[in-house]
Amino acid sequence: MKIGFVFPGQGSQKVGMGKDLYDQDLEVRELFLSANKILGYDISAICFEGPDEILTQTANAQPAIFLVSAALLLLLKRKGVVPAFVAGHSLGEITAYYAAGVLRFEDALRVIQARGTAMAASYPSDDSAMAAIMKVELDVIQRIVSSVEDGPVVAANLNCPGQIVISGKKAGVTEACDLLSKEGGRAIMLNVSGAFHSPLMAAGSEKLAVFLQDKVFASAQLPIILNRTALPETDADVLKKNLPLQVVSPVQWIGSMQVMAQHVDRLIECGPGKVLSGLCRKIVPDLAMVSVSDLESIKGIENGPQ
């Protein structure tokens, strides 16, 4: 049986995540303590104790989600549950790089730090917005966002049929939401600090590219289905060039999971929350899937998924 792993991105964080893993497994505890040392502050305490308004800050949420996903990956590997393909949603793509052996643990954390800092400084957060659009076809959304006066606004996350996230200047996103509501859609403004995966991240993309210039990337030990292309990739140079491009490009999650379903028999969401499992059930409903987010769910996979 071939298994695909998917790794969540920002928004899946929850105060208390990873605490049971830390308390009951020495190797996981060492992983968390190593992350504290690498980052230079106590990310473990933020994971376990919050408060929520601190955990949800991009600079904390992103390494915290990666850390919990890495801990779960370690425990799954110990049980002999290993993927044939991997993919990650936005931030989760860096976790996929780590799972495929492209980046070491320390390097992945430092890339996440640099990526978050670069994206946060790209464009003023008070003039940025993202909104989830429900019940409107992608072609209609693309037509509407291209027509707004105060752009750019783009379709940034193609999450699943019936759920597309738009991103861009605040006034433009608000205008697009009003227009899409007249098309029968429902818009939900997202609590985010930037217009991620839009052209407004161009400065951050450039800064990340500079940061990565002297960083060593290995070729992937297994295929990574990329957000930007929805295609499998293993080449180290391509993977290195992809990360700066990813922050200004749409997340092609629908296409990514359609490709994943062609190669695997079962999907495991490895990380806090169950957001990706919900999306994947709408994209590839016939593909078996399970979410692993804590020690109890790990115990449910004793000899690999059945």
Q: How far apart are CA 53 and CA 58, in angstroms?
A: 10
3-121+200-299 belongs to CATH 1.10.10.60: no
Please tell me the predicted confidence (pLDDT) of residue 302: 56
At residue 304, the pLDDT reads 44
Residues of the chain with CATH 3.40.366.10: 3-121+200-299
The correct CATH number of 125-193 out of 1.20.1250.10, 3.40.50.2000, 1.20.1250.20, 3.30.70.250 is 3.30.70.250
Q: Where in the chain is the domain with CATH 3.30.70.250?
A: 125-193
**Interval 89-139: pLDDT, tens:** 999 999 999 999 999 999 999 999 999 999 989 999 999 999 999 999 999
Torsion of CA 99, 242, 37, 270, to 10 degrees: -30
Task: For residues 38-43, give the mean pLDDT.
Answer: 97
| Mean predicted lDDT score pLDDT of the chain | 95
Q: Which of 90, 128, 193, 198 is catalytic?
A: 90
Task: Supply 117's token pair.
Answer: 């800092």
User: Is 197 an active-site residue?
Assistant: yes
In which band, very low, low, confident or very high, does the pLDDT at 278 lie, cut at 50, 70 and 90?
very high
Q: What angle do CA 166, 172, 175 make, to 5 degrees?
A: 95
pTM over 0.75: yes
Query: Which candidate in 197, 249, 256, 277 is catalytic?
Result: 197
Is residue 15 scored above 80 in pLDDT? yes
The pLDDT tens digits for 43-93 are: 999 999 999 999 988 889 999 999 999 999 999 999 999 999 999 999 999
Is position 89 annotated as part of the catalytic site? no
